Amino acid sequence: MKTLFLRDNEISLKEQPVPVPCAGDALVKVNIAGICNTDLELIKGYMGFHGVPGHEFVGVVESSADEFWIGKRVCGEINYACDNCDYCRRGLERHCPNRTVMGILNQSGAFAEYLSVPLANLRLVPGNVPDKAAVFTEPLAAAFEILEQVHIQPEDSVAVVGDGKLGLLVCQVLKLSGCNLTLIGKHESKLALAASWGIAVLPRGKAEASSYNLVVEASGSPSGFDSAMELLRPRGTLILKSTYAGNLELNMAPIVIDEIQIIGSRCGRFQPALRALSNGLVNVTDLIDCVYPFDQALAAFEHASQPGTLKVLIDFNA
Amino acid sequence: MKTLFLRDNEISLKEQPVPVPCAGDALVKVNIAGICNTDLELIKGYMGFHGVPGHEFVGVVESSADEFWIGKRVCGEINYACDNCDYCRRGLERHCPNRTVMGILNQSGAFAEYLSVPLANLRLVPGNVPDKAAVFTEPLAAAFEILEQVHIQPEDSVAVVGDGKLGLLVCQVLKLSGCNLTLIGKHESKLALAASWGIAVLPRGKAEASSYNLVVEASGSPSGFDSAMELLRPRGTLILKSTYAGNLELNMAPIVIDEIQIIGSRCGRFQPALRALSNGLVNVTDLIDCVYPFDQALAAFEHASQPGTLKVLIDFNA
């Protein structure tokens, strides 16, 4: 089968045998896969990953010990848990210390014609959600994760810092809470896109300091942290969505004096995202920058790595 | 009246006129005042304070427009709020942006024979709480602040890092939740004191990594932050109680990946602390290192600045 392979900070097309799933797994034929910023970070050496990357996909189950799944259109939760530890027992498989992670940690990913996915991780895609929307399930779930961690109230004054793909998804999800929401970004075209969804927008540097009780840092850069801190009111909450290499220099005193709360936020459950897609609560297809056939996957990565690019998809059936 | 005065990083005894309280204030004659680490930081230049420091005290109301208070034994909430802003209206006077703070920010403090305190800040000391216990109300309230911010559950595995005065108070308060509590410190004698209260103790470096779901950083030093982070499980909560000058270098990725929550924690309400003292729920008098008469206040400060010292009190009636 055709795959995209990462080794020593380089990706290339590579022919590999179709995986043979173990008893608890299904073999899934990939329809579309999305390129995430994390994939670009992996190429730079993040997580020391080598193998087939890719963790945003939609596909069809080709074979499975459980016949229910055969022929079903699915996406897949990316954390493969042990199902036998304290975290798994508490429903926190995403934090299982024994986990592998699809295309990120010791597990082959979705930039391949086929991949093997544990049955427990499969999620049925509702019939009214097209492939080009379903492929956003994973990043959309990461946006919904914020609502699992924090109770956002309708009177909350909320800012999202960063108008990239994740920031734009986060905005759409937080808007559902009825809160007073502002997107703060650097890119005119992306701010215009958010404005077209009815979201208030401000260019970086124009937002009033100390005037938000919740700020989401989704800029993907260390400078976003300081901007986000400045915007927070005393007793405010900062949600960290960005991961990047390197350290941050931080003065802790204001965090203590103003009793600021900082919450790291990573993967979310898929079902809320799939429900939102099915119910038309969010618009993800506006986020598609372009779609490449798999044969041009390297060009797709080149395109995705240009600053300011929105979602680049790879279509295995094109 | 006799006062202790701080200017240009130096404290000295200074004779000053007795304050004349405005209509909304009471004049309080100080019985005992306590030396806090913050006072030692003020001398080093923290907050750029000059004037009379001191924010831990117990005294007797000498005069007041409201006759109820005259002759009453009191302590006083240290944040003097405007009572007219959004924070004050939400009961968060401690975060009023227009506030002054007793002996810390634009407000004369308690290392003086008399001080003027707003009536709204006075708290009656229960009759069964002696002065040498009541003087701990402010730091004990700061320990109770954690319980206002976080719901600690009886099954929680909790570590307090730092066996100083604040760490020992925090331990006693968190123990009340029934949680599985461990104090982690560097000083054999202080760990022994906590053990005598029935608290599990471990020397620094001996605690198991990733095994606590709540960690309180009360060490007062930047190295405490890294220790505290190491102890946390994924989805764990880190309470920051220490303030110190200078920056910390921080890798944010583990905070996001493990979805860690960091919460700054400062002043607390006085009533829970006074109730705990009155009900005998905490032992504060064990924390007294020694008591100096006011005439020896400079020696008291010298003593308090020695590493490892517990609470040093200044008695105005001795």
**Beta strand pairing status for B311-315 and B25-35?**
antiparallel
B187 and B81 both lie in a single domain? no
**Chain B residues within 8 A of A235 when measuring between CB atoms:** 92, 95
Evaluate whether residue B278 is within a structural domain.
Answer: no
Evaluate whether residue A114 is within a structural domain.
Answer: yes
**Chain A residues within 8 A of B254 when measuring between CB atoms:** 264
Query: Min CA distance, B294 vs chain A (Å)?
Result: 30
Residue B199 CB neighbours (<10 A): 18
B256, A234: Cβ pair inside 8 Å? no
B148 and B131 both lie in a single domain? no
When scoring A263, A265, A269 by the number of chain B Cβ atoms within 10 A, the one with the most, hence best to mutate, is A263
A190 and A221 both lie in a single domain? yes
C-alpha A40/C-alpha A103 separation (Å) is 12
A234, B149: Cβ pair inside 8 Å? no
Partner B contacted by A266 (CB < 8 A): yes
A120 and A160 both lie in a single domain? no
Evaluate whether residue A201 is within a structural domain.
Answer: yes
Partner A contacted by B196 (CB < 8 A): no
User: What is the model's pLDDT at position A298?
Assistant: 97
| B225 band by pLDDT with thresholds 50, 70 and 90 | confident
B265, A253: Cβ pair inside 8 Å? no
Q: Structure pTM?
A: 0.92
Helix, strand, coil percentages for chain B (3-state, nearest 5): 30, 30, 40
Evaluate whether residue B221 is within a structural domain.
Answer: yes
Residue with tokens 């303030």: B243
User: What is the model's pLDDT at position A226?
Assistant: 86
A65 and A102 both lie in a single domain? yes
Chain B residue at shortest CA distance from A210? B97
- Cβ-based neighbours of B8, under 8 Å, separated by 6 or more: B50
**Chain B residues within 8 A of A261 when measuring between CB atoms:** 261-264
B243, A259: Cβ pair inside 8 Å? no
User: What is the model's pLDDT at position A47?
Assistant: 86
| B245 band by pLDDT with thresholds 50, 70 and 90 | low
B50 and B157 both lie in a single domain? no
Mean pLDDT of all residues belonging to chain A: 95
A61 and A153 both lie in a single domain? no
Q: Is B291 exposed, middle or buried (0-12, 13-18, 19+ CB in 10 A)?
A: middle
Per residue in B132-176, pLDDT (tens digit) is 999 999 999 999 999 999 999 999 999 999 999 999 999 999 999
Per residue of chain A (318 residues), give pLDDT as tens: 999 999 999 999 999 999 999 999 999 999 999 999 999 999 998 888 999 999 999 999 999 999 999 999 999 999 999 999 999 998 899 999 999 999 999 999 999 999 999 999 999 999 999 999 999 999 999 999 999 999 999 999 999 999 999 999 999 999 999 999 999 999 999 999 999 999 999 999 999 999 999 999 999 887 888 889 999 999 999 999 987 666 778 888 889 999 999 999 999 999 999 999 999 999 999 999 999 999 999 999 999 999 889 999 999 999
Query: Min CA distance, B42 vs chain A (Å)?
Result: 14
B82 and B164 both lie in a single domain? no
Is B244 a residue whose pLDDT tops 70?
no
Residue A54 CB neighbours (<10 A): 28
Partner B contacted by A262 (CB < 8 A): yes
Please name the helix (run of DSSP H) or strand (run of DSSP E) that holds residue B89, with its range, or none. Answer: helix B86-89
C-alpha B172/C-alpha B184 separation (Å) is 14
What are the backbone angles phi and psi of residue A130, rounded to the nearest 5°? Answer: -70, 160
Partner A contacted by B241 (CB < 8 A): yes
User: What is the model's pLDDT at position A242?
Assistant: 82
Q: Identify the CATH number of the domain in which residue A78 sits.
A: 3.90.180.10
Evaluate whether residue B272 is within a structural domain.
Answer: no
B114 and B214 both lie in a single domain? no
B128 and B46 both lie in a single domain? yes
C-alpha A86/C-alpha A96 separation (Å) is 8
User: What is the model's pLDDT at position A277?
Assistant: 98
Q: Please give the tally of structural domains in chain B.
A: 2
**Chain A residues within 8 A of B229 when measuring between CB atoms:** none
Partner A contacted by B45 (CB < 8 A): no
User: What is the model's pLDDT at position B222?
Assistant: 79
Q: Identify the CATH number of the domain in which residue B184 sits.
A: 3.40.50.720
B181 and B288 both lie in a single domain? no
Query: Min CA distance, A233 vs chain B (Å)?
Result: 10
Partner B contacted by A221 (CB < 8 A): no
Partner B contacted by A20 (CB < 8 A): no
Partner B contacted by A13 (CB < 8 A): no
Nearest to A247 among B92, B249, B258 (CB): B249
Evaluate whether residue B174 is within a structural domain.
Answer: yes
**Chain A residues within 8 A of B225 when measuring between CB atoms:** 252
B60 and B94 both lie in a single domain? yes
Query: Min CA distance, A239 vs chain B (Å)?
Result: 9
**Chain B residues within 8 A of A225 when measuring between CB atoms:** 252
C-alpha A206/C-alpha A197 separation (Å) is 21
Evaluate whether residue A277 is within a structural domain.
Answer: no
A247, B250: Cβ pair inside 8 Å? yes
- Domain that residue A80 falls in: 2-136+284-315
Partner A contacted by B251 (CB < 8 A): yes
C-alpha A36/C-alpha A78 separation (Å) is 13
Q: Determine contact, residues B33/B56, Cβ cutoff 8 Å.
A: yes
B265, A259: Cβ pair inside 8 Å? yes
A252, B261: Cβ pair inside 8 Å? no
C-alpha A59/C-alpha A313 separation (Å) is 13
A87, B234: Cβ pair inside 8 Å? yes
| B220 band by pLDDT with thresholds 50, 70 and 90 | confident
Is B254 a residue whose pLDDT tops 90?
no
Nearest to A243 among B235, B244, B257 (CB): B257
Half-sphere exposure of A61 (CA within 13 A, CB side): 25
Evaluate whether residue A161 is within a structural domain.
Answer: yes
